[in-house]
Structure 1
Amino acid sequence: MVTMLHNDADLRQRAWDVAAQVVDPEIPVLTIADLGVLRDVAVVDGQVEVAITPTYSGCPAMNMIQLEIELALEREGIRHSKVYTVLSPAWTTDWMSDDGRRKLKEYGIAPPQAASSRRALFGKQTVACPQCGSEDTEVLSEFGSTSCKALWRCRSCREPFDYFKCH
């Protein structure tokens, strides 16, 4: 019995490591682990089950992410996996890794602010430009290149940029 539990733990870790490397199709510099979309991996009756949570309800990337997880697991010899979506608790930007936030900034997308940002206190949001670092920025549209981003512009360097919305 101990051997079986050990094998399940090894399989779970192996499956987690494989799933964690799947990239977000909308922001290919981020993995689903960076985003916090990968919620859990379990082994149930010998079958790998992967739980994912969308960044927002109705996210069109989720079908592609599910397929990419299944394919990645299959390539590693993990067959007959089950990938399912978990909506509760709802995804939050607090689940993003520090590495993921760094990757977003390096990619030219302003990372989400912490839940305790100035906006939470005063209703005013200040977003630093990922190009030049200036906080003299303005929102152009609450809808950016994808539904999880807003379009902003820096008044200093005049460059437009996406801001990953807080949830």
Structure 2
Amino acid sequence: MVTGTAAEVVGAVTDPELPMITLAELGVIREVRQGEGGVLVTITPTYSGCPAMESIRADIRTALRRAGFGRAEVRTVIAPPWTTDWISESGRRKLAEAGIAPPGAAPVRATGPIPISLSPRPTAVACPRCGHTDTETLAAFGATACRELRRCPACREPFEHMREI
């Protein structure tokens, strides 16, 4: 017995590295098509080397199978490249509630590779706990390459910030 639409099922799957946010809220779900031959899901990774992609594909197939859908195919597309601008407002709120400062607006980019700077940026990042905006970078990378470790001098708490991509 099928429970819910394929899009609802896929949209409820959480990110393995950020379990407080769904793949739909993260903006990696590009399309969910349901037909006689099964379900086709198209996703875009947050970056091309994302180590969670196989887990994401497996989690999507498992969720669809548990909801009663037959054959499920998950395709990965990299164009156009994912951007943090695709994170929904509810996703940004959930990141902040989990202590991860959500990204600001993504840098304007031309077509082609996206440069990621490893040097500190002058961008103000608000502390997700107290809102203080004069935070400092402790490490260029956090738990994943798309996050950095920061500290708030006001509340003295460390936190992660999702980089703008």
Partner of 1:104: 95
Please state how far the C-alpha of 1:82 moved relative to its aligned partner.
0.3
User: Which secondary structure does the structure 2 equivalent of 1:74 belong to?
Assistant: helix
Counterpart CA distance in 2 for 1:136 and 1:19 is: 38
Gaps of 5+ in 1: 1-10, 118-122
Partner of 1:31: 22
User: Which secondary structure does the structure 2 equivalent of 1:28 belong to?
Assistant: coil
- After TM superposition, the score normalised by the length of structure 2 is 0.86
Counterpart CA distance in 1 for 2:107 and 2:83 is: 13
For the 8 Å contact 2:37–2:71, the answer to whether it is kept is: no
Partner of 1:14: 5
Please state how far the C-alpha of 1:114 moved relative to its aligned partner.
1.7
Partner of 2:114: none
* Structure with the bigger percentage of helix: 1
User: Which secondary structure does the structure 1 equivalent of 2:5 belong to?
Assistant: helix
Q: Which has the larger radius of gyration?
A: 1
* Cα deviation 1:116-141 (Å, max 9, x = unaligned): 79xxxxx6200000111101101112
Runs of 4+ in 1 over 6 A off after TM superposition: none
Counting matched residue pairs gives: 151
Partner of 1:4: none
**Amino acid of the residue matched to residue 90 of structure 2?**
D
Query: RMSD between aligned alpha carbons?
Result: 1.8
Of all paired residues, the percent bearing the same amino acid is 52
Counterpart CA distance in 1 for 2:101 and 2:34 is: 37
* Cα deviation 1:26-81 (Å, max 9, x = unaligned): 11100000100111112355321101111111111111110010011001111111
Counterpart CA distance in 1 for 2:42 and 2:49 is: 16
Gaps of 5+ in 2: 109-120
**Amino acid of the residue matched to residue 113 of structure 1?**
G
